[in-house]
């Protein structure tokens, strides 16, 4: 109990006297804040990108692509293959018995990024009549659906915000053809919001794709249907298509980019943390030096070394925590929710929102506490071991 | 005792503190050096030769093909010396997840245009030009897969289907290995003949993915590019022509504003260091108030004291910064070998910028303490506890 009282007393003195060491303490706080800020900015970017891809795609929808193509843009599917897939077991059919199926074309067109004015690859997806029915969660937020057979397109709201020239009612030129934007759609912040949609037959003819497609989407009746469709595709030499659930397909697209951002962010943050640690150690050593007489006096009147140790360590930790919180708050205020885009594995831009999650803040606070702990423990040890006579002899 | 040894003695009077500050500065310049190297790599995409080459792509997007007839029409444009073209094959070897950059090219003109980039033994070059199903691979690719010249290599495409076999796989004979012909070049790809491509694909025949042009005079690049694009205006496949370098950098810009991110990170790192070192220097000089008072009493002029303190912070900055820069250069060269990005190096320009920053850092952190030391009154200094 006595020890606890001593610790509380010393800690209070240390913290209350912080304003006397304002500048050195501030430098530690700022250093830790910047370390945490850099780390969180990178991690929040990675998390936002991952969230967008993982929030895309339904587990009930199957995507069929040419085997080995990996990406929608590479795949080629013939009209005959589309007809064959329509006969597959396990797929949902409409009341008239025909399959709910959308054969789609995925071509890349140029757009201009608003923020930088640079060219960007944007996906123009030609979808079939059943396309919207195979996109649960899709809603038109403005305008209307494109009319079949026309040069009309609808655009995802993320794309419209991020890239210039895709506002409702505007016309865009792809090559020699002019398209009118008649609607804007939302789809729960998914990758689809970074796309342009038109009638697949019009896209086929204006891009000279004949009757070829790139992917087929069908709705599955139940969980076992994926294996049924796979077996069906394997069993027919005319098909041999790769079958995945839409959810798995998009989840598999995030790892490369996310790893790249994380591999850039962590080493940078750790290097900066080492720099901040050097600063924290300096601050705390000088704090101990400045208080050496005070510590010696306390020791003379019966305070133990433990209270000096804990008091100093606590001071360092408090500075680091304040710094960490400021860094996290700054990232939250400056970046959280900000929209940006990068080139996805499908070779087109994916718009995503930077997402600062509590888990990331916790990780960053661990780093901040690490700096505070190591930056405080050695000076605290010195404070605890300070020879009383030497402290008075100084100065 | 010279002034320099005085500065040194002052700097190392607190060994631990000085060492810690040097570590902090070292890390800041390590970060700076690394990021400057990456920026340099991005700026040098394609190397210098790329500035004298033009690339024509479909205006809709560079993934859309153009009719192969464009090649001969471009060849006739005044100011054009050489023209070649290529198609993206989407190649992979066994594992579809590991894409190998593979181009179907008009071999003779392609090797001519890239003569300063691709080095190949003359007999291998001749063998490539005369072997219909021959392919040449960058040395790194061949080594990675254990291929030797003469090997039969089945290469697959994630896009095309082979008409002759109904599969996605083509048989090639590896007839040559490509090495970089200059320091900036990086032929980390596979080339094969467009004739073989054309006769065996089920679609995509007689198209050019992109057309590469060597101009007679780089000063005329803009005029030639305009002329080419005007020639195909209002055709079903309009074109967009730019220098190869601009094309490469536009593509990199699609990844994101990397320059902006680098600027922010470097800014954050330096602001941190400025705070830490500035504070510590102020503290170090404040602790020496009595010493400075004694020096002044002994007749040290104010200017000399000013220089001593400023010299200390400048020396500290250089002692921490230069090793940091050196470590960055070493690290960059190690990574450069690994990933084959030729421009990834600490360019003299950026090293110069770094040294200027070191001097600025030393100056900024030392100027206030030096000024205070200069102004210090002897009576106050000696009286202070």
CA-CA distance, B75 to B67, in Å (whole number)?
14
Task: Say if the Cβ atoms of B27 and A208 lie within 8 Å.
Answer: no
Tell the residue number behind the tokens 């310049």, with chain if given: B29
Q: How many CB atoms lie within 10 A of CB B94?
A: 10
B272–A31 CB contact, under 8 Å: yes
Domain assignment of residue A330, yes or no: yes
pTM of this prediction?
0.90
A347 vs B20, B63, B264: nearest CB? B63
Distance CA A215, CA A210 (A): 15
Residue A394 has pLDDT above 70, yes or no: no
The dihedral formed by the CA atoms of A160, B250, A55 and A269, expressed in degrees to the nearest 10: -120
**Is the CB of A38 less than 8 angstroms away from the CB of B283?**
no
Q: What is the pLDDT of residue A73?
A: 92
Q: Give the pLDDT confidence of A354-391 residue by residue, as tens digits.
A: 999 999 999 999 999 999 999 999 999 998 888 887 77
How much is the pLDDT for A291?
A: 83
CA distance A224 to chain B (A): 26
Strand partners for A197 = A125, A154
Q: Interhelix angle for A305-334 vs A2-16, to 10°?
A: 50
Residues 6 or more apart whose CB falls under 8 angstroms from that of A3 comprise A304, A306, A307
Among the listed residues B57, B60, B51, the one whose alpha carbon sits nearest the alpha carbon of residue B70: B57
List CB contacts of B365: < 8 A, sequence separation 6 or more.
B274, B277, B278, B281, B313, B316, B317
Helix boundaries (H) for chain A: 2-16, 22-54, 79-85, 157-162, 200-206, 225-235, 246-251, 255-290, 292-300, 305-334, 358-385, 388-393
Is a pLDDT exceeding 90 seen at residue A177? no
Cα–Cα nearest to B3, from B255, B280, B301, B337: B301
A282/B contact by beta carbon, under 8 A: yes
| A260 and A222 in a common domain | no
Model pLDDT for residues A230-262, shown as the tens digit of each residue:
999 999 999 989 999 999 999 888 888 899 899
d(CA B362, CA B29): 13
Decide which of A239, A266, A287 is a domain's last residue: A239
> Can you tell me whether residue B103 is helix, strand or coil?
strand
Q: For residues B167 and B155, give the distance between their C-alpha atoms in angstroms, rounded to a whole number.
A: 11
3-state helix, strand, coil in chain A (%, to 5): 50, 20, 25
Same domain, yes or no: A206 and A274 = no
Highest mean pLDDT out of A10-14, A172-176, B327-331: B327-331
Same-domain status, A197 and A150: yes
- Give B60-101 pLDDT, tens digit per residue: 999 999 999 999 999 999 999 999 999 999 999 999 988 999
CB contact under 8 A, B159 and A285: no
- Contact across the interface for B272 and A283, Cβ inside 8 Å: no
Strand partners, B174: B135
A124 at B interface, C-beta within 8 A: no
- For A183, the 3-state DSSP assignment is strand
Helix, coil or strand: residue B208: strand
In-domain check, residue A139 = yes
Residues 6+ apart with CB under 8 A from B8: B315
Cβ–Cβ contact A59 with B under 8 A: no
CA A219 vs CA A96, A391, B188: distances in Å: 16, 79, 42
The domain total for chain A is: 2
Are B276 and A275 inside 8 Å of each other by CB? Answer: yes
Q: Is A295 on the interface with B (CB under 8 A)?
A: no
Q: Which position has the higher pLDDT, A286 or A325?
A: A325
Say which of B21, B30, B235 has its CB closest to residue A282.
B21
Select from A34, A75, A108, A241 the residue whose CB has the most chain B CBs within 10 Å, as the one to mutate to test that interface: A34
Give me the residue label for tokens 């960059």. B332
Residues A218 and A319 in one domain: no
* CA–CA min distance A97, chain B (Å): 33
Q: Are residues A44 and A185 in the same domain?
A: no
* Cβ contacts of B373 within 8 Å, gap of 6 or more: B285, B292, B305, B306, B308, B309
Does residue A146 sit within a domain? yes
| Separation CA A40–CA B243 (nearest Å) | 38
To the nearest whole Å, the CA of B384 is away from the closest chain A CA by 10
* Sequential DSSP letters for B1-37: --HHHHHHHHHTTSHHHHHHHHHHHHHHHHHHHHHHH
How large is the ipTM? 0.87
Mutate to test the interface with A, among B32, B60, B87, B155 (most CBs of A within 10 A): B60
Q: A285 touching B, CB under 8 A? A: yes
Q: Which residues contact A319 (CB under 8 A, 6 or more apart)?
A: A25, A28, A29, A32, A280, A283, A372
Give domain status of residue A246, yes or no: no
Distance, in Å, from the CA atom of A199 to the CA atom of A105, rounded to the nearest integer, reads 9
CB A373 within 8 A of CB A313: yes
* Residue A24 touches partner B, C-beta closer than 8 Å: yes
Q: How far apart are CA A282 and CA A277, in angstroms?
A: 8
Measured between beta carbons, the chain A residues lying within 8 angstroms of B265 are 38, 268
* B residues 270-299 closer than 8 Å to A (CB): 271-273, 275-276, 278-280, 282-283
CA pair distance A6, A11, nearest whole angstrom: 8
Determine the Cα–Cα distance for residues A221 and A91; give it in Å rounded to an integer.
5
Q: Which of B23, B61, B97 sits opposite A274 (nearest CB)?
A: B23
Q: Are A227 and A357 in a shared domain?
A: no
Whether A347 and B268 lie within 8 Å, measured CB to CB: no
Same domain, A265 and A234: no
Distance CA A88, CA A217 (A): 12
Res. A41: pLDDT tops 90: yes
Residues A215 and A331 in one domain: no
- Residue spans of chain B under pLDDT 70: 1, 46-48, 340, 384-385
Distance from CA of B25 to the nearest CA of A (A): 7
Q: Which of A239, A272, A290 is the last residue of a domain?
A: A239
Best to test chain B binding among A22, A39, A271, A275 (most B CBs inside 10 Å): A275
Interface check for B156 against chain A (CB to CB < 8 A): the answer is yes
Burial class, B368, CB count within 10 angstroms (exposed 0-12 / middle 13-18 / buried 19+): middle
Nearest CB among A24, A31, A208 relative to B283 is that of A24
> Scanning the structure block, which residue is given the tokens 């002034």?
B3
Search chain A and give the residue with CA nearest B97: A70
> Of A239, A263, A283, which residue is a domain's last?
A239
Place of tokens 């757009």: A111
Task: Residue B247: count other Cβ atoms within 10 Å of its Cβ.
Answer: 23
Ordered DSSP codes for B127-143:
HHHH-TTEEEEEHHHHH
Q: Which two tokens stand for residue B30?
A: 């390590």
Assigned token pair, A291: 């208080």
What residues make up the domain containing A76? 68-239
Nearest partner of A104 among A68, A84, A67, A132, judged by Cα:
A132
Q: Taking chain A, what is the end-to-end CA distance rounded to the nearest angstrom?
A: 35
Are B42 and B252 a contacting pair, CB within 8 Å? yes
Model confidence at A395: pLDDT above 60: no
CB atoms A121 and B271 under 8 Å: no
Q: Are B159 and A69 in contact (CB under 8 A)?
A: yes
Residues 165 to 224 of A: which have CB under 8 A from any B CB?
174-176, 207-208, 212
Is the domain of A17 the same as that of A98?
no
Same domain, A342 and A364: yes
Of A23, A68, A342, the CB nearest to B255: A342
In A, which residues are within 8 Å of B91 by CB distance? none
Tokens 């065996």 label which residue?
B200
User: Which DSSP letter does residue B201 get?
Assistant: B
Q: Please indicate, yes or no, if residue A60 is contained in any of the structural domains.
A: no
More confident residue, B347 or A324: A324
Q: Is residue A376 packed enough to be buried (19+ CB in 10 Å), middle (13-18) or exposed (0-12)?
A: buried
Q: Is residue A248 part of a domain?
A: no
Residue B18's closest chain A neighbor by CA? A282
Q: In 3D, which of B118, B91, B122, B49 has the Cα closest to residue B192?
A: B91
Cα–Cα nearest to B86, from B210, B262, B176: B210
- Nearest by CB to residue B268, choosing from A38, A68, A341, is A38
A233 within a domain of the structure (yes/no): yes
Quick check: helix, strand or coil at residue A57? coil
Q: How far apart are the first and last CA of chain B?
A: 28
CA Rg value for chain A: 30
Instruction: Take residue B160 and report the two structure tokens written for it.
Output: 């095309």
Question: Which residue from B151, B157, B109 is spatially nearest to B133, judged by alpha carbons?
Answer: B151
A71 to B158: CB separation less than 8 angstroms, yes or no: yes
Whether B167 and chain A come into contact, CB under 8 Å, resolves to no
Nearest CA in chain B to A351: B256
- Nearest residue of chain B to residue A238 (CA atoms): B166
* Residue with the two structure tokens 């996109």: A135
Our CA-based measurement puts residue A45 at a distance from the nearest CA of chain B, in whole angstroms, of: 11
Q: Is residue A373 part of a domain?
A: yes
Work out the average pLDDT over A194-199: 97
Question: A141 and A30 in one domain?
Answer: no
User: A45 and A13 share a domain?
Assistant: yes
DSSP-assigned beta bridge partners for residue B92? B99, B156
**Residues of chain B positioned with their CB less than 8 A from the CB of A194:** none
Q: Is B20 in CB contact (< 8 Å) with chain A? A: yes
């Amino acid at each position: 109990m006595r020890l606890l009282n001593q610790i509380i007393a010393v800690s209070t003195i240390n913290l209350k006297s912080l304003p006397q060491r304002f500048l050195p303490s501030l430098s530690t706080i700022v250093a830790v804040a910047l370390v945490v800020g850099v780390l969180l900015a990178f991690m929040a970017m990675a998390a936002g990108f991952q969230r967008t891809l993982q929030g895309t795609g339904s587990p009930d929808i199957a995507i069929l692509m040419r085997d080995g193509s990996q990406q929608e843009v590479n795949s080629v599917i013939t009209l005959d293959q589309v007809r064959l897939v329509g006969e597959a077991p396990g797929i949902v059919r409409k009341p008239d018995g025909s399959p709910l199926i959308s054969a789609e074309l995925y071509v890349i067109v140029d757009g201009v990024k608003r923020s930088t004015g640079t060219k960007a690859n944007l996906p123009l997806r030609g979808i079939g009549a059943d396309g919207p029915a195979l996109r649960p969660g899709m809603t038109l937020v403005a305008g209307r659906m494109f009319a079949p057979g026309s040069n009309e397109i609808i655009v995802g709201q993320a794309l419209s915000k991020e890239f210039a020239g895709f506002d409702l009612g505007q016309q865009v030129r792809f090559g020699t053809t002019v398209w009118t934007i008649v609607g804007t759609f939302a789809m729960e912040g998914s990758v689809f919001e970074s796309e342009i949609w038109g009638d697949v037959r019009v896209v086929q003819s204006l891009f000279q794709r004949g009757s070829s497609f790139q992917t087929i989407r069908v709705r599955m009746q139940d969980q076992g249907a994926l294996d049924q469709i796979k077996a069906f595709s394997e069993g027919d030499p005319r098909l041999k298509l790769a079958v995945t659930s839409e959810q798995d397909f998009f989840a598999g697209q995030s790892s490369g980019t996310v790893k790249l951002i994380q591999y850039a962010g962590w080493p940078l943050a750790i290097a900066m943390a080492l720099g901040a640690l050097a600063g924290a150690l300096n601050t705390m050593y000088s704090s101990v030096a400045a208080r050496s007489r005070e510590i010696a006096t306390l020791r003379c009147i019966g305070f133990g070394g433990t209270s000096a140790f804990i008091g100093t360590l606590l001071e360092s930790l408090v500075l680091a925590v304040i710094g960490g919180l400021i860094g996290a708050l700054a990232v939250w205020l400056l970046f959280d929710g900000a929209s940006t885009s990068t080139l996805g594995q499908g070779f087109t831009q994916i718009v995503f929102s930077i997402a600062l999650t509590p888990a990331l803040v916790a990780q960053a606070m661990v780093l901040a506490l690490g700096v505070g702990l190591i930056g405080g423990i050695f000076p605290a040890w010195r404070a605890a071991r300070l020879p009383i006579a030497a402290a008075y002899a100084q100065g | 005792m010279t002034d320099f040894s005085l500065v040194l003695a002052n700097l190392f009077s607190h060994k631990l503190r000085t060492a810690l500050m040097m570590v902090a500065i070292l890390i800041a310049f390590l970060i700076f050096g690394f990021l400057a190297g990456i920026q340099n790599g991005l700026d040098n995409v394609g190397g210098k030769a790329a500035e004298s080459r033009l690339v024509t792509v479909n205006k809709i997007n560079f993934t859309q093909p153009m009719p192969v007839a464009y090649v001969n029409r471009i060849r006739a444009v005044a100011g054009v010396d050489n023209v070649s073209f290529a198609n993206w094959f989407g190649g992979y070897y066994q594992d579809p997840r590991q894409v190998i950059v593979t181009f179907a090219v008009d071999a003779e003109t392609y090797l001519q245009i890239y003569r300063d980039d691709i080095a190949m033994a003359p007999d291998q070059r001749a063998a490539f030009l005369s072997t219909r199903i021959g392919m040449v691979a960058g040395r790194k690719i061949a080594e990675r897969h254990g291929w030797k010249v003469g090997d039969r290599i089945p290469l697959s495409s994630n896009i095309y289907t082979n008409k002759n076999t109904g599969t996605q796989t083509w048989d090639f004979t590896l007839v040559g290995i490509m090495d970089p012909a200059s320091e900036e070049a990086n032929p980390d790809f596979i080339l094969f003949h467009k004739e073989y491509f054309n006769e065996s694909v089920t679609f995509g025949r007689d198209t050019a993915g992109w057309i590469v042009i060597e101009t007679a005079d780089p000063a005329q690049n803009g005029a030639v590019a305009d002329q080419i694009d005007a020639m195909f205006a209002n055709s079903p496949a309009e074109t967009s022509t730019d220098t190869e370098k601009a094309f490469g950098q536009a593509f990199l810009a699609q990844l994101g504003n990397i320059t902006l991110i680098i600027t922010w990170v470097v800014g954050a790192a330096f602001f941190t260091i400025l705070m830490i070192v500035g504070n510590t220097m102020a503290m170090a000089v404040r602790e020496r108030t009595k010493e400075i008072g004694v020096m002044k009493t002994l007749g040290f002029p104010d200017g000399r004291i000013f220089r001593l303190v400023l010299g200390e912070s400048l020396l500290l900055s250089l002692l921490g910064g230069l090793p940091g820069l050196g470590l960055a250069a070493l690290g960059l060269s190690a990574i450069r070998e690994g990933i084959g990005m030729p421009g990834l190096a600490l360019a003299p320009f950026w090293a110069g910028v770094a040294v200027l920053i070191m001097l600025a850092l030393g100056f900024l952190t030392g100027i206030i303490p030096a000024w205070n030391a200069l102004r210090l009154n002897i009576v106050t200094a000696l009286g202070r506890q």
